[in-house]
Amino acid sequence: MIPFNLPCIGEREVEYVRQAIANHRLAGNGPFTVRCHEWLQTTTGAAKALLTHSGTAALEMAAMLSAVGPGDEVIMPSFTFVSTANAFVLRGATPVFVDIREDTCNIDETLLESAITPRTKVIVPVHYAGVACDMDAILDVARRHDLLVVEDAAQGLLADYRGRHLGSLGDLAAISFHETKNVVAGEAGALLVNGERWEARAEILWEKGTNRTQFFRGAVDKYTWVDIGSSYLPSEITAAFLCAQLEAAREITERRQHVWRRYHEAFAPLESEGLIRRPMVPTGCAHNAHLYYLLFADLSRRTAAQDALRKAGLDAVFHYVPLHSSPAGRRFGRAFGSLPVTDAVSARLLRLPMWAGLPDDQISKAVQAIAGALESAHAG
């Protein structure tokens, strides 16, 4: 079976982990952590980067920094991973789920203004598949209504919006390095901070509510408990592995983009026949080939295509069950309207095997299997 995902790992990861062990510095915030922070800040343009033990942890830190609490509302898409909502629910805030655009599967920016109430504090755009949301429109709405913008850029490393890296446009952003992402560390993430107003407190939350980082910089003569916080630092072993991945990030992305382009070219005839819809990347945006997905006419055709791929030895999977229709989503959040596009996309979207080095013959096999399944469904 050709797997849906296969992390791209070289020899440098093992060497850097060996170095971290030899340094006898295994807790967080060591030399490899510093190197990762510098890479992220230099590459993304974020004012500050802090490694976390997951993308979820980065979102939780962002929610803490946004100072939301009971009675506050946070606007976000329903078509996203549970962590996007959980981070704010943990602070007592209410997620308000807004519908998405069918072309990008990103939040529909034209609905934001209508979804805002006096209780709204934050907008959370999710850059699905490493394709940018319409950030100009989102930032304009946020600015006019004095709202914060927290980018869920979990899938967005090395993708950009009109020349600016995803994660550098909002007030705060979260990136994931989970093993399913382009650049991996097993379980890890990063908080990106894009304004001086957040930097000092972000470090305190990151260091369990203490000013320990300031102490090691010599800014204070002792460190103590000064705020809420938690243990968000990953170990130096994780940071060492991630450092090697970050150094190879552009090469990994280029290899994934080769696979993405092969899929995209091969599926063009099926799209021209109206049998599928391929992913769309807005003009002026550069994606990172995180996912390659197809949208089918309905659930039955998606199921037929998925079955055909598995029979051909290819693992393909659907994606999110909409949060607004989940038990916890109904309990902790509310939907703005009926969200018809979200429901339809969830039932019609299928993600294909996508990893650096996926053989061309397997791409051809996937195209043939899907074409055959659609032909059979049409004949039936």
Q: What is the pLDDT of residues 267-281, one digit of tens each?
A: 999 999 999 999 999
pLDDT over 80 at 9, yes or no: yes
Tell me what the pLDDT averaged over the chain comes to.
96
Give the integer Cα–Cα distance in Å for 53 and 156.
17
Cα 203 to Cα 220: distance, rounded to the nearest angstrom: 14
Number of neighbours of residue 372 by Cβ within 10 angstroms? 15
Alpha-carbon distance 268 to 93, whole Å? 43
The model carries a pTM of: 0.96
Burial 155-171, CB ≥16 within 10 A → b, else e? bbbbbbbeeebbbbbbb
217 confidence band (pLDDT: 50, 70, 90)? confident
| Interval 349-368: pLDDT, tens | 999 999 999 999 999 999 99
Q: What is the pLDDT of residues 234-261, one digit of tens each?
A: 999 999 999 999 999 999 999 999 999 9
Task: Provide the token pair at 357.
Answer: 């080095």
Domain residue ranges of the chain, discontinuous segments joined by +? 12-247, 249-379
In sequence order, which residues have a C-beta less than 8 Å from that of residue 281 and are 6 or more positions away? 104, 131, 287
The 10 Å Cβ neighbour count of residue 361 is 8
Span 108-130, pLDDT tens digits: 999 999 999 999 999 999 999 99
- Give the tokens for residue 132: 């940018």
pLDDT above 90 (res 218): no
Look at the domain 249-379 and name its fold. Aspartate Aminotransferase, domain 1 (3.90.1150)
Bridge-partner residues for 98, per DSSP?
77
Q: What is the mean pLDDT of residues 72-90?
A: 98
Instruction: Give pLDDT, residue 261.
Output: 98
Across the range 297-321, mean pLDDT stands at 96
What's the CA gap between 239 and 274, in Å, rounded?
Answer: 46
Tell me the Cα Rg of the chain: 21
Q: Give the pLDDT confidence score for residue 380 in this predicted structure.
A: 55
Nearest by Cα to 50 from 200, 215, 180: 200
Query: What's the CATH fold of domain 12-247?
Result: Aspartate Aminotransferase; domain 2 (3.40.640)
Amino acid identity for residue 80 in this structure: T
Task: Tell me the β-bridge partners of 189.
Answer: 52, 176
pLDDT band at 215 (very low <50, low <70, confident <90, very high): confident
pLDDT category at 376 given cuts 50, 70, 90 is confident
Backbone angles phi, psi at 115, to 5 degrees: -85, -10
52 forms bridges with which residues in the sheet?
Answer: 189
Percent of the chain's residues with pLDDT above 70: 99
> Strands 148-152 and 172-176: what pairing?
parallel
Answer yes or no: is pLDDT of 30 > 80: yes
Q: With helix as H, strand as E and coil as C, how does the chain read?
A: CECCCCCCCCCHHHHHHHHHHHCCCCCCCCHHHHHHHHHHHHHHCCCEEEEECCHHHHHHHHHHHCCCCCCCEEEEECCCCHHHHHHHHCCCCEEEEECECCCCCCECHHHHHHHCCCCEEEECCECHHHCCCCHHHHHHHHHHCCCEEEEECCCCCCCEECCEECCCCCCEEEEECCCCCCCCCCCCEEEEECCHHHHHHHHHHHECCECHHHHHCCCCCCCCECCCCCECCCCHHHHHHHHHHHHCHHHHHHHHHHHHHHHHHHCHHHHHCCCEECCCCCCCEECCCCCCEEEECCHHHHHHHHHHHHHCCECCECCCCCHHHCHHHHHHCEECCCCHHHHHHHHHEEECCCCCCCCHHHHHHHHHHHHHHHHHHHHC
pLDDT of residue 379: 61
